[in-house]
Chains A and B, each alone.
Chain A
C-alpha cells in the first residue's frame, strides 16, 4: 500500500513538472525555427534547430545589458524590501503602537489599490527627483510596490513565532532591536525565501513601470529588450523574441539552481526550533 502511494506521489509530481515545463518547451521550439517556418500547418512539435536565431537575438536586442539592468534593479529592490519590510513587520507584530497599526492597515489597503491610479503623479515625482533613467530610481519604485505584500507576509510569520524567543534575550540584557537581528531575522528564512521568490520575478519582469522610468535604451530591462520585436500592425518576430527570452531565462535558472541548495538548507535549518 505504501509503495503504491509513493509511486503515485512520484507520478503526480512528474506530471505536474511536465505540465509546468510546457511553456519552456514551446519557447525553445519557437527559438529554433527559421523565419520561413510554417508551423501552424506542419509539425508543431519539432523545430528546425536553427541556432542562428540566438546569434541574431544577442546582437539585435542588447539582452546582455538588459539582463544586468534587470539584475541590479531586482537586487536593489529586494535588499530594500527585505531590510525595511522585515524591520517593519517585527515591530508591527510585536508592539501594538498606534503608529504601527496605522502603518499595517495602510499597507493592507494600498495592496488593494490598482497601480494605474498612481501613474501620472508618480511619473511627475520621479522627474522632479531626477530618478528617471536610473536603476536605483526604478529599484525604489519596485520596492515600494512590493513593500505591502512583503510586510504582510513577514508580519504573519513573526506573529507565528512566540514572543518568548526574544524575551529570553531581553532578560540577558539585549535590546529589542538587537534581538530582532540576532534571533528573529535568522528564523525568518522561510518567509525571506517566500518574499524573494514572490516579488523577485515581478521585479525582474516588470514592464508596466519600466516603460515610464527606463527610457534610455541602455537602461532597458529584459521585458523592454523583448519589446523591440513587436511591431504595431505587422506582428512580431517570434523566433528572435523566443531566442532572446531563452537567453534571458538561463541566468535565472542557473542562479536559482545554485541558490536552491543553500535556500533549502536554510529553510530546514532555520525552521527547527530547539
Chain B
C-alpha cells in the first residue's frame, strides 16, 4: 500500500517541479510513426538477409552466407571502391561549394531572393528527367556542351569521359555537386543567419580581419550546420543512385556501378535476400565515416 502511494507522490512531485510534463513525451509521436513505417518493416527486412530468398518462392535460412559471398564477389568489391571514391570527392566538395554559395548569398544585395531560388532550382526537376538532361548536356561528341565547345573550337576539352574511369568519376562528382550544392547552401544560410551581428561587430572593434572573424566567429558558430551538412552529404554521397544511373548506367559494363545500384539490381534479379544483406553491409560502410564526423564536429561547450 505504501509503495504505490509514495511512487505516485514522487511522480506528482516531479510534475510540479516540471521535471516531468507533457514535454517528456514530445518525442513519442515521431517515434511511433517511425516505428510503424520504418522499424517494423526493417526488422522483417533484416530477417530476409539471413536467407537465400529469390523474391518469389523458396526461402531457406543460410545464416551469414550472404555476407561472406559479398566479399568474395569481384564486382561487389569494385562497387565499394567506386562508392567510396565518389563520396570522397563529392562530400567535401559539396560542403565547400555550399559554404561558398552561402557566404556569397548572405549579404544584402538586389535580387538576393531570386538568386537563392535559382540555386535550389536544379533539385526541383524530377530526377527521371534530370538524368536525361544531364546526358543530353554531357554526351561525348553529340551533347550540348560538345556543340557549345565546338562553336569556340575547343571541342577536345570534353573528350570521351565515359571511356576513362578517372574522367568518369570526376564528371559524376561534379554533376552531383552541381545538382545538390543548393541544398547544402540552404543549411549554411540558415546557420549564418542565426549568428548575431554583435559578435561580428565586437570582432571588428577588436581589429579582426575578414579571415580571422571568419575563423573565430563564423566557423565555431556554424558548427551545428557544418555537422548537419557533413553527415547528410556523407550519407547522400555514399548512397548515390540517380546521378550514376542517368549518366553511366553503372557502366560501361559495371565499371562505375555503385552499391545502391548493385543492391537494386540484386533485389530484382532474384537475389532479394542477398540484396538485403548488402544493404546492411552498406549501412556499416556509411556508419563509420558518420560516427567519425559526428565526433569531430561535437559541440565544444
Which secondary structure dominates where chain B touches chain A?
A: helix
Q: A21-B118, A107-B34 are in contact. Are A193 and B104 (CB under 8 A)?
A: no
- In the bound complex, do residue A191 and residue B125 qualify as a contact, i.e. CB atoms below 8 Å apart? no
The A81-112 residues at the B interface (CB cut-off 8 A) are 83-85, 87-88, 90-92, 94-95, 97, 99-100, 103, 106-112
Total A-B residue contacts, Cβ distance less than 8 Å = 264
Q: Is A180 an interface residue (CB 8 A)?
A: yes
Count residues on chain A whose CB falls below 8 Å from chain B CBs.
104
- In the bound complex, do residue B132 and residue A110 qualify as a contact, i.e. CB atoms below 8 Å apart? no
Q: Which residues of A contact B223 (CB under 8 A)?
A: 160
**For the complex, what is the distance from the CA of A197 to the CA of B124, rounded to whole Å?**
10
Question: Looking at the complex, which one of B39, B123, B299 makes contact with A110 (CB distance below 8 Å)?
Answer: B39
B106 to chain A, nearest CB (A): 11
Closest to A70 in B: B126
Q: Which residues of A contact B117 (CB under 8 A)?
A: 253, 256-257, 260
The A188-230 residues at the B interface (CB cut-off 8 A) are 190-191, 193-194, 197-198, 201, 204-205, 207, 222-223, 226-227, 230
B residues at A contact (CB < 8 Å): 18, 21-27, 29-31, 33-34, 36-42, 44-46, 48, 55, 101, 104-105, 109, 112-130, 132-134, 136-137, 142, 144, 147-148, 178, 182-183, 186-187, 189-191, 193-194, 196-197, 221, 223-225, 227-228, 231-232, 235, 239, 260, 263-264, 267, 272, 275-276, 279-280, 282-283, 286-287, 290, 299
- In the bound complex, do residue B27 and residue A207 qualify as a contact, i.e. CB atoms below 8 Å apart? no
Which secondary structure dominates where chain A touches chain B?
A: helix
**For the complex, what is the distance from the CA of A148 to the CA of B33, rounded to whole Å?**
11
The A1-59 residues at the B interface (CB cut-off 8 A) are 9-10, 12-13, 16-17, 19-24, 26-27, 30, 40, 44-45
- In the bound complex, do residue A84 and residue B39 qualify as a contact, i.e. CB atoms below 8 Å apart? no
- In the bound complex, do residue B24 and residue A144 qualify as a contact, i.e. CB atoms below 8 Å apart? no
- In the bound complex, do residue B26 and residue A91 qualify as a contact, i.e. CB atoms below 8 Å apart? yes
A residues at B contact (CB < 8 Å): 9-10, 12-13, 16-17, 19-24, 26-27, 30, 40, 44-45, 80, 83-85, 87-88, 90-92, 94-95, 97, 99-100, 103, 106-114, 116-122, 125, 140-141, 143-145, 147-149, 151-153, 156-157, 159-160, 170, 175-177, 180, 190-191, 193-194, 197-198, 201, 204-205, 207, 222-223, 226-227, 230, 236, 238, 241-242, 245, 248-249, 252-253, 256-257, 260-261, 264, 267-268, 271-273
